[in-house]
Structure 1
Amino acid sequence: MAATGKGGAARVAAGFLFLLHLVAAIAGKSYYDVLQVPKGASEDQIKRSYRKLALKYHPDKNPDNEEANKRFAEINNAYEVLTDQEKRKIYDRYGEEGLKQFQGRGGGGGGMNIQDIFSSFFGGGGGAEEEEEQILKGDEVVVELEASLEDLYMGGSLKVWREKNVIKPAPGKRKCNCRNEVYHRQIGPGMYQQMTEQVCDQCPNVKFVREGEFLTVDIEKGMQDGQEVLFFEEGEPKIDGEPGDLKVWFAPVSV
């Protein structure tokens, strides 16, 4: 009887693990995950992230790369939904399946072609000739949190206290937007020398201030060891640039 009990327990444990993996597989990536933005992201955040990802995974830059083509399609599909207020509201409430039913009943139109979405954003013929703009970005912050297996399986949330640098106004001015400008100097009759000079603008001064806040980290049902939650632009700030991202990793612990 004891041996039978152990076998039954093993089968239950195996079934539990299978169910855990199944739930995670069904959950998949949300449109917010695809665009690497939080659920409450502003339209400006969504557009900035879309621009970066669309240029990175465009088929012109990734010939014969099926995985990149798939990512490009996912990025454009997510962007179309999350920049349409009506579609986004339905998606947030009912998910992807609810959105499909809404569109199936004739709501919200039939959607745009992938290249049409890209072209309407970049204002070109759909190619990836435009170079990715070099935007200064702050450092990425990675935090590892412990979570019980029950929390990972059932879902939940954790409140974490964190301190970070915040950019605040400061007295005075500072150099900013510095760039090299080329000019020509005459050094003799009909002779000119090309010169380079650094030119900067004057911007209001800033300083870094350390501030603390509670961060709520949501744990989705079926999350696994090593999965992450992304907080867009919640990493280290960058003067004259964009903040880095904050990534939270979960490490399961036995309770």
Structure 2
Amino acid sequence: MIYFVGAGPGDIELITVKGQRLLKTADLVIYAGSLVNPALLNECKEECIILDSAMMTLEEVIKAMVEEEMKGEDRVVVRLHTGDPSIYGAIREQMDLLDERTLKYEVVPGVSSFCGAAAALKKEYTLPNVSQTVILTRMEGRTPMPPKEELSMLASHQATMIIFLSVSLAKEVEERLIKGGYREDTPIAIVYKATWPEEKIYKGELNQLSHIIAENHITKTALIVVGDFLGDTYERSKLYDPGFTHMFREAIK
């Protein structure tokens, strides 16, 4: 069986129990290079074959999986992806090729870095009367964006926004967010390597974004987090409001 496993955002204790169990039993692990904390590979048994996919093409990854599967039905292959494999994991193309070969596989979810960033910031992305929507996106680079997902168009919602894979384009990110409707003084944070031992957090306002990134020499492995949820103003949740009735509790008069 082949397993696509989310490794979590960096902290080795944030892989799921199932993911950890599969690493311990795997005969082959193909992991996503510098994006996955290599300390997780210490869970693997001594005879496990470990390959770094940073040096491999899609076809080479699939070939390694297939060859391991051909050794017997009891073989366990783990494709170890950073965070949760459903977000910028490029797993669809792998699964489609496995489908063509009628090979069985399973996806094991993981903790995404955007969840790790919220924990690092000690903030809640969805606050009453501030934001009830979280947008996960990126700037276009060599991978283009669908026209309706261009950053300034998404910015028009002024929701909580988490921007992946874009710190190298910080100036353009800043300009497009302001053009789209965010205030220049909208709170922002840059979370570098969320939950890793070397995690760093930088805070400021949107019009300072590119300056903060340049000043601190951040070039990769960081999330840009934007929105008023980073501020201090919000309303209490109705769920725990003593004056609010719901199916489990009557309001206190």
TM-score using structure 2 length:
0.23
Larger radius of gyration: 1
Structure ranking higher in strand proportion:
1
TM-score using structure 1 length:
0.23
